[in-house]
A and B are shown apart, each in its own frame.
Chain A
Amino acid sequence: MHPALWVSKTGLSAMDKQLSVISNNLANVSTTGFKKDRAVFEDLLYHTVQQPGGLQSQNTQLPSGLQMGAGVRVSATQKNFSEGDYNVTDRDLDVAIQGQGFFQVLMPDGNMGYTRDGQFQLNAEGSLVTSSGFLVEPQINIPQEAASVTIGDDGTVSIMRQGSAENENVGQLTLAGFINPEGLSSIGQNLFVETAASGAPIIDIPGTSALGNVRQNMVETSNVNAVEELVNLITAQRGYEMNSKVVSAADGMMSFVIQQL
């Protein structure tokens, strides 16, 4: 059949994937600590029909050959870890990271997850957990009689007991960093897990390295830029329409053959 049909089919499916990436970004425009994705497009292999420089006759050479590309594919989705905006919430257990680090979360299967979403809560035992109820590592327990909780820029968690003037240190938040954060795999619930591409986590105390400081009473908003996504949406949609136009042109050619011959 007509090869252009298959080529534009790859175009259609790539634009379709681009559309799902954009719609996921837009759906998460208000998700705390969300990092946007982008689809990475790559041209597929080329098929050489005639080799350039082939002999046309014994004494003459073809000056150029014929190479036909096989279309396009989405080779990866790339996460963009640029920082989102900081939203002041004035809630004691809201913590934002100003820098490249991640909070460490102990997932129910015993593996470590990493998140930028610092909307922490307490569970029944008084331990600091994420909004999904997973324990924050290292584990921090806030006693019931705590009147106020203070989280310093360096991650020190201290409490003030009712009727006491002394600050009591109850734990230390640490941050994890990766040499290639874009290699982390997203598993939903605002969590990322380590992969061979991201490298092993580098764990450090906030405020001492690139991992950044923690800021209490703030949350980091999604880094999705709605205008940018809408512009991408337009190009993806038009790209889709153009490729479908090629499918109908190729189809028209084939149906003409069938009618005429």
Chain B
Amino acid sequence: MDRALYLAMSGGKQVMHAQTIRANNLANVNTTGFRADFEQARAMPVYGEHFASRVYAMTENPATRYEAGALIQTDRSLDVAMKSDGFIAVLDAQGAEAYTRSGDLQITANGQLVNGSGLPIMGARGPIFLPPINEISIGEDGTISIVPEGGTAAEMATIGQIKLVNPDTQLIEKGTDGLIRAKTGVPFEQNLTAQLKSGFLESSNVSAVEELTKIMSLSRQFEMNIKVMDTVRNNGNASARILQRNA
């Protein structure tokens, strides 16, 4: 029997991986600050002393799409969106620095500034803690100014700055928890030109039309692989019949 069956099977299996990546993008079509993933297939030839027809497929996701999503106005002073390229620095579950575009900030019971997933926001000099406040405003460069509790607007004080970074997208990757990290593991320096906008959140950058189209085309691709498997089976049946007649 021709081993082409296994080639078609590998094709179909890899298309299912690709389909999963696209489905994940679409599932996150409303996730604040989500960055869509790409998928691509690579030819993986098997070399050896045989006719060079064994080329298996392999799906991989070479990169994440870092272009900006749309800004959604929320009018909440603790909602921030990146206006320029770049990321907000947070601390991940292990306490290491990671980056995100999701800026739905909150203040915890002990006054720490965290994002919507509860990750501490990194300031220029470590995590940010706030005293009890009357009012808070976050400037375009991430500067946090507050009116302390019982104070008046004239007593506005600057108490910290959110660390913003703007690394080359070649140097970053998405981790298994969805946070962006430096490939080298060394935190990036604060970027003074990166800009925030308070009162806004950034939407997911998933293009729904593109993802749906891709899912349709992957479905057809999958069916073609199955069709090849069907053809291989028919070939097998035909040769079995011929051999029967000769018997």
Residues of A with C-beta under 8 A to B177: 45-46
Q: From A15, which residue of chain B is reached at the shortest CB distance?
A: B30
Q: Find out whether the CB atom of A69 lies under 8 angstroms from the CB atom of B26.
A: no
The answer to whether A11 touches B27, judged by C-beta atoms less than 8 angstroms apart, is yes
The residues of B that contact A208 with a CB separation of less than 8 Å are 150
Chain A residues, CB < 8 A from B175 = 46
Q: Distance in Å from the Cβ of B203 to the closest Cβ of chain A?
A: 9
Q: Which of B42-80 contact A (CB under 8 A)?
A: 44, 58-63, 74-76
Asked whether B219 lies within 8 Å of A253 as measured between CB atoms, the reply is yes
Q: Any chain A CB within 8 A of the CB of B212?
A: yes
Return the contact of A257 from the options B178, B208, B226 (Cβ within 8 A).
B226
Query: Which listed residue, A40, A75, A180, touches B108 by the CB 8 Å rule?
Result: A180
Do B216 and A249 have beta carbons less than 8 Å apart?
yes
Question: Chain A contact residues: over half helix, strand or loop, or mixed?
Answer: mixed
**Distance (whole angstroms) from the CB of A255 to the closest CB of chain B:** 10
Given A40-B32, A46-B178, A182-B106, are A245 and B212 also a contact pair (CB < 8 Å)?
yes
- Other A-B pairs, 20, CB within 8 Å; known A48-B176, A78-B116, A253-B222: A2-B19, A4-B16, A4-B23, A4-B215, A7-B23, A15-B30, A42-B116, A46-B174, A46-B176, A46-B178, A63-B62, A66-B61, A68-B61, A69-B24, A69-B28, A196-B109, A198-B109, A239-B208, A242-B212, A249-B215
Stretch from B84-92, B158-166, B227-235, B239-247 at the A interface: B227-235
A23 sits at the interface (CB 8 A) = no
Q: Which residue of chain B has the shortest Cβ distance to A43 in the bound complex?
A: B178
CA distance A7 to B246 in the complex (A): 52
What are 9 A-B residue pairs whose CB atoms fall within 8 Å in the complex?
Answer: A14-B27, A40-B117, A41-B34, A42-B178, A68-B61, A69-B20, A243-B23, A253-B219, A256-B222
> Does any Cβ of B come within 8 Å of A30's Cβ?
no
Tell me whether B107 is interfacial, beta carbon within 8 Å: yes
One digit per residue, 1 when the CB lies within 8 angstroms of any chain A CB and 0 when it does not, for chain B 101-117 equals 00010111111000011
Closest to A238 in B: B208
B16 with A2: CB separation less than 8 A:
yes
- The answer to whether A70 and B24 touch across the interface, beta carbons within 8 angstroms, is yes
Interface size classification for chain A: 35 or more
CA distance A62 to B59 in the complex (A): 11
Q: Is the Cβ of B229 less than 8 Å from the Cβ of A261?
A: yes
**Interfacial residues of chain B within 188-230, with CB under 8 A of chain A in the complex:** 208, 211-212, 215-216, 219, 222-223, 226-227, 229-230
Asked if A126 is at the interface of the complex by the 8 Å CB criterion, the answer is no
Most interface-central of B19, B21, B75 (chain A CB within 10 A): B19
Q: Find A67's partner among B23, B37, B216 (CB 8 Å cutoff).
A: B37
Flag whether B133 is at the interface (Cβ < 8 A).
yes
A22 to B106, CA, bound (A): 21
Q: How far is the CB of A5 from chain B (nearest CB, A)?
A: 8
Task: Report B163 CB to chain A, min CB distance, Å.
Answer: 21
Q: Mark A38-54, 1 if CB is under 8 A from B, else 0.
A: 00111111111110100
- Chain B residues near A47: list those with CB within 8 A: 176
Which B1-26 residues have C-beta < 8 A from chain A? Answer: 16-17, 19-26
Task: Contacts A48-B176, A71-B27, A183-B108 given; indicate if A260 touches B227 (C-beta within 8 A).
Answer: yes
Any A CB within 8 A of the CB of B31:
yes
Task: Return the chain B residue nearest A48 by Cβ.
Answer: B176
Question: B149 CB to closest chain A CB, in angstroms?
Answer: 5
CB of A143 within 8 Å of the partner chain: no
Q: A62-B60, A65-B60, A239-B29 are in contact. Are A52 and B178 (CB under 8 A)?
A: no
Taken together as a complex, chains A and B put the C-alpha atoms of A199 and B110 apart, in Å, by 7
